[in-house]
A and B are shown apart, each in its own frame.
Chain A
Amino acid sequence: MRIAGKGPGDPARKVRFTFDGRVVEGIEGDTVASALLANGVRLMGRSFKYHRPRGVVTAGSDEPNALVTVGRGAAQVPNVRATVQEISEGLEVRSQNRWPSLAWDAMEVNDVAWPFLSAGFYYKTFMGRPGLWEKLFEPLIRRAAGLGALSGEAARDDSSRAFAFCDLLVIGAGPAGLMAALTAGRAGADVMLLDEQVRPGGRLLDEDCAVGGLPGADWVAQAVAELDALPNVRRMARTTVTGAYDGGTYGALQRGAPGARVPETFWRIVARRALLSAGALERSIAFRDNDRPGIMVAGAVRSFLHRYGVVPGRSVALFCNNDDAHRTARDLAAAGVRIAAVIDTRLGIATDADWPVLAGAEVIGTSGRLGLEEVTVRQGDRIRHVRTDVLAVSGGWNPAVHLTCHMNARPVWDESIAAFVPPKGAVPGLSVAGAAAGVFSTRDALTGGAEGAAAALGEIGIDAALPEIPEAEDAPYVIAPHWLVPGKGRAWLDLQNDVTVKDVRLAAQENLRSVEHMKRYTTQGMATDQGKGSNVNALAVLADATGRGIPETGTTTFRPPYTPVSIAAMGAGAQGAGFAPQRFTTSDAQSRRMGAPMVEAGLWYRPSYFPKAGEATWREACDREATMVRTTVGVCDVSTLGKIDLQGPDAGAFLDFVYTNTFSTLKEGRVRYGLMLREDGHVMDDGTTARLGPRHFVMTTTTAAAGAVMKHLDFVQQVLRPELDVRFCSVTEQWAQFAVAGPRSRQLVNRLLETPVDNDSFPYMACGAVTVAGVAGRLFRISFSGEHAYEVAVPARYGESLFRLLVAEAEALEGGAYGMEALNVLRLEKGHITHAEIHGRTTAFDIGMDRMIAPAKDCIGKTMAARPGLLGEAREQMVGLRPVRRDGRFTAGAFLFAEDAPADSDHQQGYLTSVGHSPALGHALALGFLRNGRARMGERLRMVDHLRGVETLCVVSDPVAFDPEGGRLRG
């Protein structure tokens, strides 16, 4: 029901959405909850376990009951609080946990069986039977109990993450927060003012109250206008601070306005100081059947009235234990709503009201199947029945202490307000003002906000003048604690998890007396609302059941997030290609134009092969390219290999220390292959290093380990050998580098070099500065393919152009470009290792390179590589493998067994690391590791791939299968 003259905005601005397919009309600014209530809809969901009909209980983010699913498909979001979700034209809202419909839910049968379904029932009944729990009971129970579901479609990655910094973070824009922001803003501090509602003002919009002689809403509008005009104040609506972390860091979730392109933003805010002014949350009282739609907390009824202009029924009854709640009756009566009765648990309540006030009375029961119709009241010996649509309940207010406890502190019990208040100094730099501090009058909130802000800024050297505090309500808060109404039946504590007073008592009876144990046993305080409305009541019941006081019983641990944060927001931007940067070589576009499928190598993309017309499979292209390199000439982009420039008088000594072999003796203009160990003696990486000048080297690393090697070198320089005078940096990105390999490679490079080379001027393993097609570059005579080969490097700006030129020249020599597949076959034929072999668990000994550990000097990993167990016959050593039959097939990852042994883990002798088909030899080839392998050349073994079901007889052979003398490299 709408109240004329009040509301969220212009009543003429209608917004239509659907609820379970039915069209509902609201006003712009409504939430789903306020719009449904305005249309007389009280039933909004079914409870978690018993499928009880439920309606809205609160007007805020602490709502336990009114959870709905919004949207469809990829945009479907379950478990959205109807009290938070703003309506928008065409919004699709569906109720949850019901079948076939909200009004007729078949699973309501659970509710009839309630005497059997107490806390712990499932575990006691089903868990003892192995197999049946996972296969039968758990799926059944999960289907029957639960919340909303995901659609199963990948969500669109529209959300955002962001960072922010400020002097003062003000959390909550109620009277305390607004006053704090004004005080700090006027002082020139960088202020962030965050509020989870659409409209700032907090209780000043939820109540009928005056500030400084103005209606509350008008004072708020004035304050907000001033704040928005200050460039140093950043105000964010729809933003909930969800966690307090180390170093003054706070997490916050910002919801987009309806239809916004960014639905959610997750903020990490670093604040020098923060002020929590998040107000308080109202709690209920436990009495029989206190969960029917229409039973709400009293403050929420006021919020719906003042903020949204909605009352949830024609008549309202009130049940309370404090003065504050009486405002509800006064405000509703002023709006023309019938007050059925005010039921106050306290004796001697004096009132001049025009409605029945029952002092010293309790609600002992309710009725109405899908919504409240009547409450039963006991006053002394007298029982009466009161007809009403709504029962507004107030058991008192709990300050929103959550953030102050996120760093593991516990709140402090304050007897005078029967509530927990924030512990002092539990989160460094965070102070508390207003109702969050247990200070409930509006005047005190305004004062607390101003003083809190000034004090916080004073700590960081910013002087803030205290403003004049406007006149406002300053009534004391009078409460007599009343947690539950004794009696039969079920009195609900945690509406979201269907936990009753009986369940908590059962936990105590079964000796789960700690509040943490009680929580796990009953599930009280779990799920989306984290027990905001029920925690204090539940532990009061537990305290009573265990004969302890509330402060001794204590609370469970408060952990972030304060309200749910979707994974989509926390991981925003990191889905799909956003997961990691993509690195493209200068030849990337041209390779794609040539039709090459690209493969990922770390973050890089490299061409797999360059298909030619008529080739049906990648193998045909690969065989052709490998053969091409062996017979004419091939061109391959090798820019992705790490390149590290080292300079300084001690560069040679530094290299001697990080490589197993010696580089200080390398002559200028020469290149040497090097092997690098980790500190634990296992192989880290390999590559070539060229000496460009007396104090100048360029190291290459593998593509995969470029970053790791750079980090390793930094560590060695800064920690292990700080005395060495050497400086180095990555030049991977500076140079585009291409391998030119094959018998005609010199012919090709000489077409581009200003000064042609021959074998005498430029023998195998030579290097030097050259001019390539008019550009200063570098030439290295090195080979990964085993052919006569060069690598040509030019500044990256010329990379694409040089690649095209090289390919064109190669094609003129009956060669062309080759990709990763052919590159792999060529190195396999030569027995060259990659990270498939140096995978982190192999040593120099294992790969047959232990003689590269120079005896005359120390190097990283030298001592550790000599440990017992890392040498000798027991090691799996690298070998080559050839099939016994010419068509025998190899698969990487397969295991090796003796020919007659069973293929099981006890008899495993080794495994295959790299496989390929050699067009030069006409059969498959593999590299692998075999126990004592080097002593077993010529032995026949069985390769078994259990996963792919492949079995091949093979012969152990030398890893170098092609041109073992290396004659093709030279000349």
Chain B
Amino acid sequence: MARLQETTPAAGLGAVEIGGWRLAEAAPVPMALVMPLKGQGAAVSEAMEQALGTGFPQPGRTARNGETWAIWAGREQALVLGAVPALDGAAVTDQSDAWAMFDLSGPNVDRVLARICPVDLRPRVFPEGATARTLLGHMSASITRIAPETLRILVFRSMARTAHHELARAMEQAAF
């Protein structure tokens, strides 16, 4: 029987380097949305600590253990990058294929995002480990500072091409 081939969300959309910044698709990782059931917040955080080594993140923040991230993703929601854990007391949904994931890095990288994102991403306000659910142009996005000069940007998989195009345009305009 035939085997199915994998395709990454941004397949065919190459890395872009402009003005000292670099935009590239991040390597796909297992991904899950964790939503604790009623009254289970503390227990789920504890269970995450056991299973992943990282608790449930505070709003606008992330929790991290090595390459496993728990990114706050909305009201009582956390997006886990690096694992799809089985957790009692939580609705866990596999999202490994749902998001296109880009890393944008370089000095003053917030100045690129300032072209298409209305959130204050200056390092002193949005340091490493900070995250926001916001807009990227007209797209719903999750933006996290995963390193001092790197922002991780997640958009719907189907919008990968638009996101890549708009980020490249933002890089060109910010470089000008």
Contacts and interface: CB of A to CB of B under 8 A. Distances in A.
A684 B110 CA distance: 41
B65 interface: no
B176 A256 contact: yes
A703 to B, nearest CB: 12
Interface in A540-587: 573, 577-578, 580-586
Given A583-B159, A584-B161, A795 B2 contact: no
Interface string A744-785: 000000011000000000000000000011110000000000
B157 A796 contact: yes
A749 to B, nearest CB: 12
Contacts of B51: none
B96 A795 contact: yes
A798 interface: yes
Contact of A163 (B5, B99, B118, B156): B118
A799 B156 contact: no
B40 to A, nearest CB: 9
B42 to A, nearest CB: 16
A586 B163 CA distance: 16
Contact of A734 (B5, B96, B138, B162): B96
B37 A773 contact: no
Given A163-B118, A268-B118, A798 B5 contact: yes
B28 A797 contact: yes
Interface stretch (A418-426, A724-732, A941-949): A724-732
A802 interface: yes
B49 interface: no
Contact of B4 (A190, A751, A801): A801
Contact of B173 (A262, A585, A586, A729): A262
Contacts of A794: 4
Nearest to A725: B38
B117 interface: yes
A34 B2 CA distance: 75
Interface string B1-39: 111111111000000000000000000100001011110
Contact of A729 (B5, B35, B138, B174): B35
Nearest to A161: B115
Interface in A270-290: 270
A604 B157 CA distance: 12
B95 A731 contact: yes
A691 B7 CA distance: 29
A858 interface: no
A288 to B, nearest CB: 49
Contacts of B161: 582, 584
B100 to A, nearest CB: 9
Given A573-B116, A580-B138, A733-B98, A261 B7 contact: no
B50 interface: no
B91 A727 contact: yes
Given A582-B159, A725-B38, A731 B7 contact: no
A729 B115 CA distance: 29
A457 to B, nearest CB: 15
Given A260-B176, A733-B156, A727 B115 contact: no
A739 to B, nearest CB: 18
Interface string A458-483: 00000000000000000000000000
A190 B8 contact: no
B117 A163 contact: yes
B114 interface: yes
Nearest to B159: A581
A950 to B, nearest CB: 38
Interface in B63-110: 76-77, 90-91, 93-99
Contacts of B94: 734, 795
Interface in A579-609: 580-586, 604
A594 B168 CA distance: 29
A208 interface: no
Contacts of B163: 581
A798 B4 contact: yes
Interface in A793-829: 794-802, 805
Interface in B126-151: 137-139
B1 A165 contact: no
A85 interface: no
B114 A162 contact: yes
Contact of B91 (A164, A573, A648, A774): A648
Contact of B158 (A164, A585, A797): A585
A734 B3 contact: no
A584 B8 contact: no
Interface residues of B, number: 54
A647 interface: yes
> Which of A581, A582, A732, A733 has the most CB atoms of chain B within a 10 A radius of its CB?
A581
Contact of B97 (A262, A584, A645, A797): A797
A583 B158 contact: yes
A913 interface: no
A265 interface: yes
Contacts of B95: 729, 731, 734
Contacts of B160: 584
Contact of B125 (A165, A262, A584, A751): A165
A645 B93 CA distance: 8
A160 interface: yes
B56 to A, nearest CB: 14
B1 A752 contact: yes
Interface string B160-176: 11110110010011101
A586 B6 CA distance: 11
Given A160-B115, A164-B114, A261-B172, A729 B120 contact: no
Contacts of A163: 114, 117-120
A594 to B, nearest CB: 17
A751 B1 CA distance: 8
A772 B4 CA distance: 9
A268 B3 CA distance: 51
A799 B98 contact: no
B158 A573 contact: no
B37 A604 contact: no
A130 to B, nearest CB: 45
A799 to B, nearest CB: 7
Nearest to A605: B158
Contacts of A190: 122, 124
B157 A733 contact: yes
Contact of A731 (B98, B114, B159): B98
A799 B169 CA distance: 29
B37 A727 contact: yes
Given A162-B114, A165-B125, A774 B3 contact: yes
A261 B98 contact: no
A810 to B, nearest CB: 14
A931 to B, nearest CB: 41
B33 A729 contact: yes
A160 B137 CA distance: 12
Contacts of A584: 158, 160-161
Contact of A581 (B38, B118, B139, B169): B139
A769 to B, nearest CB: 12
Contacts of A733: 97-99, 156-158
B71 to A, nearest CB: 14
A685 to B, nearest CB: 20
B166 A573 contact: yes
Nearest to B7: A800
Interface string A407-426: 00000000000000000000
B38 A797 contact: no
> Which of B2, B116, B138 has the most CB atoms of chain A within a 10 A radius of its CB?
B2
A649 B90 CA distance: 11
10 contacts: A165-B122, A581-B163, A584-B158, A586-B7, A728-B91, A729-B77, A733-B97, A733-B98, A733-B158, A801-B6
Given A160-B173, A161-B116, A573-B169, 5 more contacts: A573-B137, A581-B159, A772-B4, A801-B7, A805-B2
The 7 A-B pairs with the shortest beta carbon distances in the complex, nearest first, are A647-B91, A727-B91, A583-B158, A727-B35, A796-B97, A733-B98, A798-B4
